[in-house]
Structure 1
Amino acid sequence: MKQSSDVTRVLIHGASGRMGQALLRLLATREDLRAVAAVSRSKPAQRVVDGLPYFAVTELHGVPAFDVAIDFSLPDGLEAILGLCVERGVPLVSGTTGLSASGERALDAAATTVPVLLAANFSLGVTVLGDLVERAARLLQTWDCDIVESHHKHKLDAPSGTALALGARAEQGGAQPSYASLRAGDIVGEHTVQFAGPGERIELVHRATSRDVFARGALHAAAWLAGQAPGRYQLRDMLR
């Protein structure tokens, strides 16, 4: 349980990845959040870096007390951090995409005990884009809907989790989206949702030029989720 304090203690799971590194860097600029442990897939080369203890995934149960965990790992790494959060009764914010049906069921089960927030994209702009996509789909029932996403060449899943999330919002509005994926260079993330009708089309576009956008959103979500009751949350719940 979270201690009565102005500072929320944060554990970063997936600390060696791009997002993990961005989260740790930006955490140092927050007065309301404090990193207490960093967990990576392999054994860390240094046990303590700038006063922060590092752990391997196999050492997860040895981490100090924390108030919320932020997970940006791989689908096969979610089970361990989810289990630890349930065991300790603390919330989990996760940006891990490509989860299997069993992974989704595990999140649902955990949400009966602790607050859980899973998002494919922690950009506040993308969250608003989802609302616009659903509204456009509802108003343009006979138009074609296509979603094109571009990411860096190292991204594994395609379509991206964000593209699928936007597609789900389009489906809620009555559209049947098609997808196209591009992997090139160091593109952080671009998503275009196009609605095309006879003689005209609408394009709704979001471009991220820095990974810090997603890290900031995840940190805001962690600070917010630490005060919520058990349940399954979405990023747009934070904006209401």
Structure 2
Amino acid sequence: MPDVGDVVTARLSVAPSDGTTLATLIVTAPDGMPSLPVVTRVEANGSVWTAPVVYSLAGVWRLSWTVTGTGASVEHELVSVAPAPGAPGSGRVYATTTDLANYLHAAPALDAGRLLADASRMLDARILAYCWYDTDDAGLPTDALVAAAIGRAVCAQVAWWGEVGDSTGAAGVGYGSVAIGSVNLGRSVTSVSGDDSAARQIAPQVWDELRSSDLHDKLRLGAVGVGW
């Protein structure tokens, strides 16, 4: 699977083909914007046509080939493109992967950027939205001690997910009725919610970080919401 920023060579095999064969390519980005037709070049064997493609957005791209002359056809290909590794997500993120590495005293996971973004969003919705502290126009804390405490809290949540082996709540989702051969497994439907997972809980260390004595009146905790 290519990543955003990758430059790849799209290829199309045409058989039969001869001197009348011509292949062109239109590339449609995930936002629906198609490129102008690209006249591709033919490789030495005379049957494989190629064209450069630059993947500038994450999502599903459509490659549409049109062949005229001998071997005339229309071919379509869908290509799934991942975000660039380590690319920041949307919303506020209160800690970096360096912060996480220092907090863990260990190398972070390769998906640490996503985990920090998820933990920041979770704490935003369930804790920080009910707190009082000074922020800038982007909603980030302006006091260095508050920023450090929130950053440690986010790292604590990521560390908790590492301990429980789940960051989404999927482990708390059970099953209603499942049949495997002659074996039937059952579970009460009322207990299949992802809320059952420890991943949906606020890590105990989060509260320790946000209630640190050095914060004094810089950060005041309010009534905490539920869900995220």
What TM-score bracket applies, with the shorter chain setting the length?
A: under 0.3
TM-score by length of 2: 0.24
Looking at secondary structure, tell me which structure has more helix per residue: 1
TM-score by length of 1: 0.23
Structure number, greater radius of gyration: 2
Question: Larger relative CO (CA 8 A, sep 6+): 1 or 2?
Answer: 1
